[in-house]
Amino acid sequence: MNTNFETIVLDLDNSVVQQKDFLKAAEAIVLPLQERGEVYRFWCTHFEMLWLRNQLARAANTNKPKVVLYGSGDQHHLAYLGISMVEEPVTVIHFDNHTDWWSLGVGDHYLGKWVTRVLRDVPHVRRIVQFGIDGDLGRPATIPIWTGTATLDFRPLLEGRVETYPHRLQTSTFQGKISGQTRCVRFEPGSFSSVAHWQNMHDHGGVAATFERVLETIETDAVYISLDKDCLAVTENFSAYSNNVGSLTVDEVCSALALVARRKRIVGVDICGDGSALATMRSVGKLAFAHYRREYAPKEFFDERHAKRNSDVNTRILAALHGQS
């Protein structure tokens, strides 16, 4: 594939390297890092993040923008790598089923709060615009606590530095008193809880129309894309957590990416959400976390059908980044 991007795979968990057709089509550079898989699963230290960023920089063969794939969405905090390497004002376009602006978390870099970490550490990020997020707005069955002001950091949202556009979610209830209105949400505060009314994509013209509107508001020419494929429906992509995924289709995501590619200059991309088996954990904390999130039997992660499906999805995403929907 003759591309405008250089594709690099951080092979931390064996998921992407099973996708032979994709690796060939993308002419991908593969960094063998499986022996460090546990280090980066769920969370990591800042020193470990800087070490990996150095490995990524050394692996690059060209000055082209990078598409970096790193397997499971359990490592979405690695979005920090590519975003922190951008050296100009940039807007981050973020596809996900989860906000990733939690205030709770473990370690310096945690999968559920990388958005707030990026906004704190990377001053040239002007805004993070999120799409498809229905998963942890409210009290989903997979999270055994009420979400609200004690668990989520609403400041970037209320300040307009984060914009969140769910796919189908219309309203959600949060513990605590929250008031304010932005382009994407209006809060109705109560005595002990608040209701959020979202400008979701499904009920406000659809995915394409939402992207048309939002792109008009993005001031920067440069955009960075972070894509967790758990925003896709379970029938579209194998992401390992079938009860904790979104409802977007590959067609919708790829059409949106192609539109972004035609309207903006993409300076970097990271992709996760490929299902992978949990390695044997030596850390007691990570072992407990892994046990809580385990869903499929280990053999599922070595099923060639899943690898083929995800390979096809990643190949289509790469094509869309070249403006081909």
Q: CA-CA distance, 11 to 18, in Å (whole number)?
A: 10
Question: E-strand spans in 108-257?
Answer: 109-110, 125-131, 162-165, 171-175, 180-181, 185-189, 193-198, 222-228
- Identity of residue 210: T
Residue 26 one-letter amino acid? A
Model confidence at 137, in pLDDT bands (50, 70, 90)?
confident
Q: Under 8 Å CB-to-CB from 189, ≥6 apart: which residues?
A: 177, 178, 179
Residues 254-271: pLDDT tens digits? 999 999 999 999 999 999
From residue 23, alpha-carbon distances to 14, 26, 278 in Å are 13, 5, 22
- Strand pairing partners for 267? none
- Cα distances (angstroms) measured from residue 262 to each of 33, 131, 265, 284, 294: 34, 18, 8, 47, 39
In this predicted model, what pLDDT tens digit does every residue of 179-200 receive, in sequence order? 999 999 999 999 999 999 999 9
Backbone angles phi, psi at 102, to 5 degrees: -70, 150
- The model's pLDDT over 204-247, given as tens digits with 9 standing for 90+, comes to 999 999 999 999 999 999 999 999 999 999 999 999 887 789 99
**Residue range 32-67, pLDDT digits in tens:** 999 999 999 999 999 999 999 999 999 999 999 999
Give how far Cα 182 sits from Cα of 70, 159, 163, 164, 258, Å. Answer: 33, 8, 8, 10, 27
Residue type, 186: R
Q: What is the pLDDT of residues 6-19, one digit of tens each?
A: 999 999 999 999 99
Among 176, 246, 172, residue whose Cα is nearest residue 185:
172
Q: What is the pLDDT of residue 302?
A: 85
Largest CA distance in the chain: 58
Instruction: Tell me what pLDDT residue 240 has.
Output: 81
Please state the rounded mean pLDDT for residues 142-159. Answer: 85
pLDDT the model gives residue 112:
95
Element (H, E) at 291: helix 284-293
Mean pLDDT of the chain: 92
Residues 6+ apart with CB under 8 A from 13: 34, 37, 41, 71, 72, 75, 276, 277, 279
